């Protein structure tokens, strides 16, 4: 089973709030200098799921990303985990593409690769939190898509996918090739092994530009974007916390219960 | 193009509160833009529900009844929505950020060439009245982004639950009801739904709970949740969790509150051993009163709470439970 995993490099979502800063004028996040960007954690889970499928059924795992030179880091991480090859899709005309543009760029790369049974994406990128690219990619390629996948089985040539929902789960069966967006219920991604890191560092990561994938530049970049960012801001906090101080925790607990009763909440 | 179309949802044969919130949002926008407000219902048996929907303050209910629509099957629902959009050509299609909305809204947007904005907390026209400003939390809730799509119509938007109050019934001004027959082309349905499992434990639904007691990574393990449960029982509250107890399998995943789980707004939210990651706060910040108990006085949760105790929950909860029992007597 040949699998393509789409990954994105993002600002580390675990950074302390004190390090999260905005350039409101240019509507951009200022990345802290001392904290390197990371592979989107949901994409890392997609890589993990791909490796588990490969361990059972064999095949090759190709990792794709749309981004600049530094984006190869996210690809290297996936290679160190156990993916076989990586490709960076990079061109000035790709910059500032929205989810439709990004999905289009990825779809053109998929058409060039051609030989795949499964495309995996993380359920959403933990920066803009849109959860769009995987679904739009499937629509462009006219492939079936199952979102929020937790696990995949191969049964009589079809993919059987368990997907998570808020109040339960569903099982879908789709013929390959198909697109899945992967949820965190998949479980913790493995850590790259020492050997994995060494072999990943030795691998060449080809860069494909718009010409290489036959991308129509009228469909990429800021100009093709279906929505424009008007404003980016940090929300104002409305609450002020009253810290309850007391000699003993018993006393503090008693005071807290009284406060809750006064608020009419108990 | 005209009108605003709401994709309504049913749960247990009733219109969900998220759908009623969408009516509030839709009504506000349709009054401002002088546009009709449509409410779409899809299901296998709608019965009297269409009438109830018509009394919510919408102009027209579109009822699509088909045995194939019994389950949440995103391909089928998208096919129906696409058909409806071709018929009425709405300017705006509103979904809740629900299991359905998360999956179907992007599919529909891709199929009809719409702009799409997911998980909006606010939706309003700008001063010209022509441009729809779509505001959503980004970077896990650390920032808010406001988007506009002046050159791409229609707009598809999913709204975060609890962004507005649910609409009140308005039986004096009932909307029309139109039963719409849609041919669902099964040859376009490539994904075969094998099962839908609803996990119901008979407990209070998080979305409906007046009080929620939530535990995070600071609880430390399964054992610690006994105290959390005991406090919840004393208060008649539902139990919620953050990502850590879910990922570590201390508690069932379906109790998760936050960006990747439930969005709740109870009268009282007691956060225990919760650090206050924005991804969690995304699911509970609209609660009326937030109480935080965390042994780390620097924990971010205190910035978001109304009352806080900086102490180990193991020491605070037992006397708190006793005190609440006393007060309730």
pLDDT, tens only, B262-304: 999 899 999 999 999 988 998 999 899 999 999 999 999 999 9
Residue B82: what pLDDT? 97
Kindly state the DSSP code that residue A16 receives in the 8-state scheme.
-
CA–CA separation, B301 and B249 (whole Å)? 23
Tell me which residue in B144, B148, B289 faces A235 most closely, judged by beta carbons.
Answer: B144
Give the pair of three-digit tokens for residue B320.
Answer: 């708190």
Inter-chain CB proximity A227 and B115 less than 8 Å: yes
CA distance B35 to A204: 56
d(CA A144, CA B190): 6
Q: Is residue A77 over pLDDT 70? A: yes
Provide the mean pLDDT of chain A: 95
The pLDDT value given to residue B274: 98
> Pick from B63, B95, B244, B287: which is nearest to A184 by CA?
B244
3-state class (DSSP) for residue B176: strand
Rg of chain A, C-alpha, whole Å: 22
Pairing assessment for the beta strands B122-125 and B132-138 based on DSSP bridges: antiparallel
Instruction: Tell me the two tokens of residue B198.
Output: 């609803």
Task: Using a CB–CB cutoff of 8 Å, tell me whether A235 touches chain B.
Answer: yes
Distance from CA of A171 to the nearest CA of B (A): 5
Q: Is the peptide bond before B172 cis (omega within 30 degrees of 0)?
A: no
**Is the pLDDT confidence value at A30 over 90?**
yes
Chain A: closest CA distance from residue B13 (Å): 16
Cβ-Cβ contacts under 8 Å for A209 (sequence gap 6 or more): A89, A90, A91
State the nearest Cα–Cα gap between A204 and chain B, in angstroms.
32
Closest residue on chain A to B106 (Cα): A132
> Cβ contact (<8 Å) for A167 and B199?
yes
In Å, how far is A210's CA from the nearest CA of chain B?
22
Average pLDDT (A179-204) is 94
**Residue recorded with tokens 């749960």:** B11
As averages over each run of 10 residues, the pLDDT of chain B (329 residues) reads 94 93 97 96 94 96 96 96 97 96 98 97 94 94 94 96 92 94 89 88 78 97 96 95 94 90 93 94 92 96 96 97 91
Residue A170 has pLDDT above 70, yes or no: yes
Please report the number of interchain residue pairs, chain A to chain B, with beta-carbon separation below 8 angstroms.
231
Give the length of chain B: 329
Question: What's the ipTM?
Answer: 0.95
28-47 in chain A: CB under 8 A from chain B: 29
Q: Is residue B67 within a helix (H) or strand (E), and if so which, with residue range?
A: none
CA angle A210, A216, A219 (to 5 degrees): 110
Beta carbons of A183 and B260 less than 8 Å apart: yes
Mean pLDDT of A260-265: 88
A198 to chain B, closest Cα gap in Å = 30
**CB contact (8 A) between residue A229 and residue B145:** yes
The confidence score (pLDDT) of residue B202 equals 58
Residues 132-191 (A) with a CB less than 8 A from some CB of B:
132, 135-136, 139-140, 144-148, 160, 164-175, 183-185, 188
Region for A264 from its dihedrals, namely left if φ exceeds 0, alpha if ψ lies in -120 to 50, beta otherwise: left
DSSP B231-291: HHHHHT-EEEE-HHHHHTTSS-GGGBBSTTSB----SEEEEES----HHHHTTTTT-SEEE
CA nearest B257 in A: which residue? A166
What is the full DSSP assignment across A152-192? EEEETTEEEEEEEETTEEEEEEEPSSEEEEEPGGG-PPPPP
Do B253 and A164 make contact, defined as CB atoms within 8 angstroms?
A: yes
Q: Which residues in chain A are contacts of B292 at CB distance < 8 A?
A: 241
Helix H or strand E segment including B44: none
Beta bridge partners of A28: A23
Q: Averaged over A215-244, what is the pLDDT? A: 94
Pairwise CA distance, residues A231 & B90, whole Å: 26
Contact A54, A61 (CB under 8 A): yes
Question: A30 has which bridge partners?
Answer: A21
Residue A218 contacts B where some CB pair is shorter than 8 Å: no
B211 and B267 Cβ atoms separated by less than 8 Å: yes
- The model carries a pTM of 0.93
Out of B114, B140, B152, whose CB is closest to A129? B140
Which residue of A22, A99, A168 is in closest CB contact with B197? A168
Confidence band of A95 (pLDDT split at 50, 70, 90): very high
In chain A, how long is the greatest CA-to-CA distance?
A: 71
Closest CA to B86 of B161, B164, B183, B19: B183
Contacts of A99 in chain B (CB under 8 A): 116
Ramachandran class of B89: left when φ > 0, alpha when ψ lies in -120 to 50, beta otherwise: left
Distance from CA of B150 to the nearest CA of A (A): 8
Measure the CA–CA gap between A181 and A6, rounded to whole angstroms: 10
Instruction: For residue A163, list its beta bridge partners.
Output: A149, A170
Angstrom distance (rounded) from CA B292 to CA B306 = 8
CA distance A54 to B152: 41
Contact A261 B327 (CB under 8 A): yes
- Using the beta-carbon criterion (under 8 Å), do A257 and B300 form an inter-chain contact? no
Give A68's pLDDT tier (boundaries 50, 70, 90). confident
Task: Verify whether the Cβ–Cβ distance B302 to A174 is below 8 Å.
Answer: no
Test A22 with B211 for CB contact under 8 angstroms: no
């Amino acid at each position: 089973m040949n699998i393509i995993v789409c990954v994105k490099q993002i600002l580390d979502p675990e950074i302390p709030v004190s390090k999260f800063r905005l350039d409101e004028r240019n509507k951009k996040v200022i990345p802290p200098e001392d904290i390197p960007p990371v592979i989107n954690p949901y994409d890392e889970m997609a890589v993990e799921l791909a490796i588990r499928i490969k361990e059972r059924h064999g095949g090759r795992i190709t990792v794709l990303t749309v981004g600049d030179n530094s984006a190869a880091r996210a690809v290297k991480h996936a290679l160190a985990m156990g993916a076989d090859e990586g490709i960076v899709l990079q061109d000035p005309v790709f910059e500032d593409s929205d989810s439709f543009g990004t999905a289009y760029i990825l779809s053109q790369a998929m058409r060039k690769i051609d030989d795949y049974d499964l495309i995996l994406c993380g359920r959403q990128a933990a920066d803009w939190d849109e959860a769009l690219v995987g679904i739009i990619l499937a629509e462009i390629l006219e492939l079936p898509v199952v979102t929020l996948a937790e696990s995949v089985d191969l049964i009589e040539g079809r993919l059987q996918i368990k997907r998570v929902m808020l109040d339960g789960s569903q099982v879908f069966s789709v013929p390959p090739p198909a697109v899945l967006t992967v949820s965190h219920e998949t479980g913790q991604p493995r850590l790259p092994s020492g050997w994995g890191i060494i072999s990943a560092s030795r691998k060449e990561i080809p860069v494909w530009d718009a010409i290489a994938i036959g991308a129509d530049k009228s469909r990429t970049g800021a100009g093709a974007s279906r929505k424009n960012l008007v404003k980016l801001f940090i929300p104002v906090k409305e609450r002020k916390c009253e810290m309850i101080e007391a000699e003993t925790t018993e006393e503090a607990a008693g005071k807290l219960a009284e406060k809750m009763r006064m608020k009419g909440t108990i | 193009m005209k009108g605003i179309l709401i994709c309504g949802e049913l749960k247990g044969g009733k219109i969900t509160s998220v759908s009623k919130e969408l009516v509030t949002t839709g009504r506000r926008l349709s009054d401002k833009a002088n546009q009709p407000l449509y409410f779409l219902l899809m299901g296998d048996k709608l019965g009297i529900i269409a009438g109830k929907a018509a009394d919510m303050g919408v102009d027209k209910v579109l009822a699509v009844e088909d045995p194939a629509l019994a389950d949440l099957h995103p391909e089928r629902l998208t096919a129906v929505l696409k058909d409806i959009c071709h018929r009425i050509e709405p300017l705006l299609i509103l979904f809740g950020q629900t299991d359905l909305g998360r999956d179907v809204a992007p599919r529909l947007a891709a199929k009809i060439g719409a702009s799409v904005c997911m998980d909006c907390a606010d939706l309003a026209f700008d001063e010209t009245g022509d441009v729809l400003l779509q505001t959503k939390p980004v970077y896990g809730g650390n920032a808010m982004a406001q988007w506009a799509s002046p050159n791409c119509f229609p707009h598809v938007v999913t709204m975060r639950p609890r962004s507005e109050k649910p609409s009140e019934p308005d039986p004096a001004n009932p909307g029309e009801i139109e039963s719409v027959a849609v041919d669902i082309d099964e040859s376009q349905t490539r994904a075969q739904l094998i099962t839908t499992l609803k996990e119901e434990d008979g407990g209070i639904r998080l979305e409906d709970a007046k009080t929620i007691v939530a535990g995070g990574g600071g609880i430390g393990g399964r054992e610690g949740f006994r105290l959390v449960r005991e406090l919840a029982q004393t208060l008649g509250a539902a139990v919620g969790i953050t990502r850590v107890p879910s990922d570590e399998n201390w508690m069932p995943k379906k109790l998760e509150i936050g960006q990747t789980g439930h969005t709740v707004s109870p009268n009282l939210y007691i956060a225990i051993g919760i650090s206050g990651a924005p991804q969690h706060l995304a699911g509970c910040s609209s609660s009326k009163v937030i109480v935080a108990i965390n042994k780390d006085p620097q924990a971010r949760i205190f910035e978001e709470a109304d009352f806080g105790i900086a102490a180990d929950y193991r020491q605070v909860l037992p006397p708190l439970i006793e005190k609440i029992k006393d007060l309730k007597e």
